[in-house]
């Protein structure tokens, strides 16, 4: 179980202090926010569900590995050795400007389920730090969160505005760019005037340049005096992104979304590909619970005795069972998400060492609205794929909670991994135990030459559920 020590959050500077003031003074956001950790003392600890799928930096930072200097402009100043030096950092993809551009956001579609796909309208890129490149350089630049208007698809607040961030891990060595790890998220928002809100700024120059981060967890973005207040999706929305990234060689995607349609194609630049994902958002339960040190729930894994003033994150589906009775079998809140990322190659082989690959480099995607998945990549067990997920059995209003689970497997990878014929498309048959079948339960599996698709709906949670998918030819 991950932990965050409240006592160890130090205020390193006046800027950091200002950030805290801005965060705590902003108006209450429309989406649910965990709050148990706000009132901890020497006799208590808390447990909070963290959804890292929604975490992106929102601005770009690239550093010279030799002296840790922030690259305001790659190819100039402290980062002038663009083609001979070594650099690493985080980019937020800017909107594509040319057909050959790499590490950029090409298309944003936001529309209502059952209607034709509709492109959202670019409003602007948020005023935040970016990584510029010298005029003569062919290396990619980094952008910031972009804001979009979807006239036909209002969010839960009635606003039609959405913030999009595709964050990518970037390494540049001797002019060669490596960028395959990413996290993509779309956040509904409405504009709220807030005198305490401040935009994240680049401060100083040269070796003394640094970023003053004034981001706020209640806001999809901040600028001076403005909070893009987070709102929930309406669940009949569909969102599609297309972006260009370094070609994957061995990766698997995970998502907080539903009914994904995935396509991978080569980009105009060799070694790069277009990732296209279209899906619905999902509503995910949240837990934020305070406990006395002397009253830790039985079975809760905090890595030993709980420590005072510490906020622990859920680490396994067993933790949900430990919390089930003390929370009344229901969450403290919930929030909608549309986000996905790719996982490190060490965990993508369905839990089994194999040399099997997908021609596109992407082996599949797993997505769920369950509170927690154990682990967040499916595993191979004989001739089946299995995954365990868990949630509380009730919603916040005490109605029955019903979950969803989606799996896409690249057909060529699955044929190899399960020892099937190399040419025929595979067959997939999902199953679940009777206890997991809520009202209207369905489990369907289809396949074509590219993908095998599994969709399980209306999953009921009396405890942890293990879903199984039989793989045959």
Express each pLDDT in 212-244 by its tens digit.
999 999 999 999 999 999 999 999 999 999 999
Residue in 343, 344, 352, 348 with CA at minimum distance from that of residue 418: 352
User: In this structure, are residues 279 and 256 in contact, taking their beta carbons and an 8 Å threshold?
Assistant: no
446 assigned to some structural domain = yes
241 assigned to some structural domain = no
Q: What is the dihedral of CA 15, 18, 20, 24, to 10 degrees?
A: -160
424 assigned to some structural domain = yes
Domain check: are 407 and 371 in the same one?
yes
Tokens 């796909």, residue located = 117
Q: Give the confidence band of 46 by pLDDT, cuts at 50, 70, 90.
A: very high
Please report the pLDDT score of residue 361 as a whole number. Answer: 93
Q: Is 447 helix (H, G, I), strand (E, B) or coil?
A: strand
Please report the pLDDT score of residue 4 as a whole number. Answer: 38
Compute the average pLDDT of residues 198-209: 91
The model's pLDDT over 131-180, given as tens digits with 9 standing for 90+, comes to: 999 998 899 999 999 999 999 999 999 999 999 999 999 999 999 999 98
Domain check: are 136 and 222 in the same one?
yes
Residue in 231, 259, 319, 309 with CA at minimum distance from that of residue 50: 319
Residue in 278, 285, 260 with CA at minimum distance from that of residue 405: 260
**Strand pairing class (310-313; 44-48):** parallel
Range name among 11-15, 145-149, 312-316, 424-428 with the lowest pLDDT average = 11-15
Q: Is 268 helix (H, G, I), strand (E, B) or coil?
A: coil
Q: Is the pLDDT of residue 464 over 80?
A: yes
Q: Is the pLDDT of residue 57 over 70?
A: yes
The model's pLDDT over 267-314, given as tens digits with 9 standing for 90+, comes to: 999 999 999 999 999 999 999 999 999 999 999 999 999 999 999 999
Q: Give the confidence band of 82 by pLDDT, cuts at 50, 70, 90.
A: very high
Calpha distance 356→366 (Å, rounded): 18
The tokens for 310 are: 């510490």
**Partner residues linked to 190 by β-bridges:** 229
HEC letters along 277-313: EEEECEEEEECEEEEEHHHCCCCCCCCCCCCCCEEEE
The tokens for 280 are: 């619905």
Residue in 373, 400, 398 with CA at minimum distance from that of residue 387: 373
User: In this structure, are residues 189 and 228 in contact, taking their beta carbons and an 8 Å threshold?
Assistant: yes
Domain check: are 404 and 290 in the same one?
no
The tokens for 243 are: 């972006």
CA 317 to chain centre: 19
Higher per-residue pLDDT: 354 or 332: 332
Per the confidence metrics, is the pTM higher than 0.95?
no
Range name among 8-17, 37-46, 121-130, 231-240 with the lowest pLDDT average = 8-17
392 assigned to some structural domain = yes
261 assigned to some structural domain = no
Please report the pLDDT score of residue 354 as a whole number. Answer: 80
Q: Is the pLDDT of residue 463 over 80?
A: yes
- The residue range of the domain holding 431 is 364-472
Which run of H or of E encompasses 132? strand 132-133
Query: What CATH number should be reported for the domain holding residue 455?
Result: 2.60.40
* Integer angstrom CA distances of residue 32 from 11, 13, 114, 288: 26, 29, 28, 10
278 assigned to some structural domain = no
Please report the pLDDT score of residue 1 as a whole number. Answer: 43
Q: Is the pLDDT of residue 194 over 80?
A: yes
Calpha distance 77→69 (Å, rounded): 10
311 assigned to some structural domain = yes
Q: Is the pLDDT of residue 26 over 60?
A: no
Q: Give the confidence band of 327 by pLDDT, cuts at 50, 70, 90.
A: very high
User: In this structure, are residues 62 and 142 in contact, taking their beta carbons and an 8 Å threshold?
Assistant: yes
Domain check: are 29 and 99 in the same one?
no
Q: Is 78 helix (H, G, I), strand (E, B) or coil?
A: helix
Please report the pLDDT score of residue 111 as a whole number. Answer: 98
Domain check: are 177 and 294 in the same one?
no
Domain check: are 201 and 59 in the same one?
yes
Domain check: are 72 and 188 in the same one?
yes
Range name among 100-104, 247-251, 284-288 with the lowest pLDDT average = 247-251
Q: How many domains does the chain have?
A: 3
Helix and strand counts by DSSP (H, E) for the chain: 3, 34
**Partner residues linked to 58 by β-bridges:** none
Domain boundary at 320, 335, 350, which?
335
Domain check: are 405 and 457 in the same one?
yes
Q: Give the confidence band of 23 by pLDDT, cuts at 50, 70, 90.
A: very low
Please report the pLDDT score of residue 52 as a whole number. Answer: 72
Domain check: are 403 and 299 in the same one?
no
Q: Give the confidence band of 50 by pLDDT, cuts at 50, 70, 90.
A: confident
Domain check: are 319 and 454 in the same one?
no
Domain check: are 16 and 136 in the same one?
no
Share of the chain above pLDDT 70, in %: 93
156 assigned to some structural domain = yes
Indicate the average pLDDT of the chain: 90
Higher per-residue pLDDT: 54 or 411: 411
Q: Is the pLDDT of residue 72 over 90?
A: yes
Please report the pLDDT score of residue 10 as a whole number. Answer: 26
Domain check: are 23 and 158 in the same one?
no
């Amino acid at each position: 179980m991950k932990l965050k020590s409240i006592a160890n959050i130090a205020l390193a500077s006046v800027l950091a202090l200002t950030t805290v003031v801005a965060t705590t003074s902003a108006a209450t956001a429309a989406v649910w926010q965990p709050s148990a950790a706000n009132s901890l003392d020497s006799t208590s600890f808390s447990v909070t569900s963290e959804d890292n799928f929604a975490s992106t930096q929102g601005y770009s930072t690239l550093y010279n590995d030799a002296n840790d200097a922030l690259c305001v402009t790659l190819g100039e100043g402290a980062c002038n050795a663009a083609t001979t030096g070594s650099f690493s950092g985080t980019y937020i993809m800017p909107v594509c400007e040319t057909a050959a551009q790499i590490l950029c956001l090409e298309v944003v579609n936001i529309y209502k389920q059952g209607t034709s796909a509709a492109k959202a309208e670019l409003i602007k890129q948020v005023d935040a730090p970016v990584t510029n490149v010298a005029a003569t350089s062919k290396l990619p630049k980094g952008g910031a969160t972009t804001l979009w208007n979807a006239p036909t698809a209002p969010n839960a607040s009635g606003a039609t505005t959405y913030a999009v961030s595709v964050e990518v891990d970037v390494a540049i060595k001797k002019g060669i760019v490596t960028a395959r790890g990413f996290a993509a998220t779309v956040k509904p928002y409405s504009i709220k005037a807030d005198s305490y809100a401040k935009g994240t700024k680049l401060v100083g120059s040269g070796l003394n340049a640094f970023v003053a981060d004034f981001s706020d967890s209640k806001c999809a973005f901040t600028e001076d005096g403005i909070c893009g207040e987070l709102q929930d999706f309406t669940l009949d929305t569909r969102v599609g992104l297309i972006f260009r990234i370094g070609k994957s060689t061995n990766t698997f995607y995970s998502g907080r979304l539903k009914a994904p349609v995935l396509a991978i194609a080569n980009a105009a630049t060799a070694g790069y590909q277009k990732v296209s994902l279209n899906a619905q958002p999902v509503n995910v339960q949240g837990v934020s619970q305070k406990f006395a040190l002397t009253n830790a729930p039985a079975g809760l894994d905090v890595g030993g005795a709980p420590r005072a003033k510490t906020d622990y994150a859920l680490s396994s589906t067993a933790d949900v069972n430990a919390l089930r009775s003390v929370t009344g079998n229901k969450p403290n809140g919930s929030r909608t998400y549309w986000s996905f990322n790719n996982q490190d190659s060490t965990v993508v082989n369905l839990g089994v060492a194999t040399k099997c690959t997908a021609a596109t480099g992407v082996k599949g995607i797993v997505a769920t609205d369950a509170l927690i998945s154990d682990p967040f990549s499916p595993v191979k067990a004989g001739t089946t794929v299995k995954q365990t997920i868990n949630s509380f059995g009730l919603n916040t209003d005490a109605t029955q909670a019903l979950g969803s689970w989606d799996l896409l497997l690249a057909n060529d990878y699955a044929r190899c991994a399960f020892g099937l014929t190399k040419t025929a498309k595979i067959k997939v048959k999902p199953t679940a135990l009777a206890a997991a079948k809520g009202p209207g339960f369905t489990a369907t599996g289809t396949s074509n030459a590219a993908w095998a698709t599994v969709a399980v709906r209306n999953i009921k949670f009396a405890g942890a559920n293990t879903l199984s998918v039989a793989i045959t030819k």
